Chain A
Amino acid sequence: MRREALSFPALAAVAALGLACCVLLNAGVARRQSWVREDRVGIQLPESGALESAFLFGMGMRRLAADLGLIRLLLYYGGSEDEFPGAEAADGRREAVEGHEGHEGHGHAAFDSDHPERSFGGGRYPLLGPMSMRILDLDPSYSYPALFTAGALAFNLNEPQKAQWLLEYALKRDPGNRQYHEYLAAVGAHRKGTPKGVIEILERLVLDPECPTMMKNLLGFLYFKNGQREKAIAIYREIARDSRDQGYRGIAERMLRRLGA
């Protein structure tokens, strides 16, 4: 077989030249990453999911890791809190969200679609905040889980203080996010016991296409409670027509029947 000879020194020279090219390319690219959003807080991963997250980071799948976190969060909040693995052995984040006061479980029933007015404040779901913080650690620009969780904590689980902590944590990671400020205002109005103030803020929030259906449902309920029938019907119709959440679509349809629409 004909061999196109290449001496060892020549091979070494080619290798050195190749490495020099790599160094030049990397030096050039290191200066051109200004378009990448910098994570201001830094990655913080609890022990429980560190391996999975490190694997997904190594594969360049940060968003996917956050998506998996969201699915877990939704499964947790959508099911019985006692059955969720790890609910008893929560990580250090749990204390961070539960704060200094601590709290007792409310022991309320889960969301009752036929009688929503009886259901807000149901359950305790102590891992909801930590799970949401973990998603923020994975993908600081992903606001949906923080908004969803803050809404659930403040309005469904009667834990507005925790909702505020979570939103403040989210704001540290993404200070320019206007929605976090709006949610903080809504939670503040809720704490003051001014439903009209909450409604005014929620009316602005639900205009955002990324607004969690849960918040739209809450606005519908507040309209219903305040006797604003037409507005309640409009928002429940929107949920029944557009929402991807089968559960909330069902609630909206039942509420529409109750409202005679």
Chain B
Amino acid sequence: MRAVLLLALNSWVENLRNRFFGLVLAFAGTVLYLSMLLGLLASDQEVRVLLDFGLGFIELMGLVGAVYGASTVVLREMESKTVYMILTRPVERSSYLLGRYLGLMLSVGGAMLIMAGAHVFMLVLKGWAFRPDYCWAFLGAFLKVLVTGSLALFLALSTTSALSALSITMIIWSLGHFLPEIRLMVRRFGSDSTLLMAPLQAVSWVIPDLQLFNLRDRLDLPAGLAQCVPVGSWLVYAAGYCCVWLVLSSALFKRKEF
């Protein structure tokens, strides 16, 4: 466990030194600029538009950072042979992988938090009254990023190509947001065209339901419903998916020859 923590911390420090926080600054500037533009364009609805754009950007930035990082970090170290430096020591391969993943997610989570801070500051300046829904929406976005990051890591190790991993992850990200609709289709047409629906049904069983975490898209829920946000289920679901992909990644990584 100590090795995992050390590796995570090391990854985090490495990420701090690279372009990650440059992106954060760029985001803060973009939010400032957009707020001025949107103020002119959306009139009465300025705050809603600013809220949606900001949360959307935070999630996208987190996604890009997590998916790019997860797809490249291990492959890059394998190519540059720096992975030898770690694995020649008494460090389990699974610990190495978990450490790298946690370090990356720590960096992404930190960057998302900074962006959310700047976003909330901007919203409050515009007269927005802080609502706890914002925290849940942020948590939902981060959990999506966590799940997708673990999936990207698995795909990078199984395809051994960062580009393929990136592409497949983005496809699964999109499908994950359509999962309620996919389930509906399977329910509605499943009995009539079983063969046609079989692949879709298989997809609906395996890919993560990202729409589950998407409170960002339902921020105008009536108060009664907003209080029923199933945070416990979110955490169990996200933890379950991360574990599955990380265990599979670890199994694949154990078979790698260097």
Contacts and interface: CB of A to CB of B under 8 A. Distances in A.
A and B interact: yes
Interface of A: 1-6, 10-11, 14-15, 18-19, 21-23, 25-30, 32-33, 35-37, 43, 57-64, 67, 70-71, 74-75, 141-142, 144, 148, 210, 212-213, 243-248
Nearest to A214: B44
Contacts of A148: 44
Nearest to A30: B183
Contact of B216 (A26, A60, A243, A248): A60
A75 B237 CA distance: 42
B87 A1 contact: yes
Give chain B's interface secondary structure class: helix
B87 A58 contact: no
A37 B225 contact: yes
B258 A5 contact: no
Interface string B30-43: 00000000111111
A252 to B, nearest CB: 13
A43 B178 CA distance: 12
Contacts of B237: 25, 28-29
Contacts of B241: 22, 25
A114 B171 CA distance: 54
A37 B228 CA distance: 12
A33 B212 contact: yes
Nearest to B241: A25
Given A213-B43, A244-B43, A15 B248 contact: yes
Interface of B: 38-46, 48-49, 52-53, 56, 59-60, 84, 87-88, 92-93, 144, 173-174, 177-178, 180-181, 183, 204-212, 214, 216-221, 225, 228-230, 233, 237, 240-241, 243-245, 247-248, 251-252, 254-258
Contacts of A60: 59, 144, 177, 210-211, 214, 216-217
A21 B216 contact: no
Given A4-B254, A64-B52, A71-B41, A26 B206 contact: yes
Given A5-B254, A33-B212, A37-B225, A14 B42 contact: no
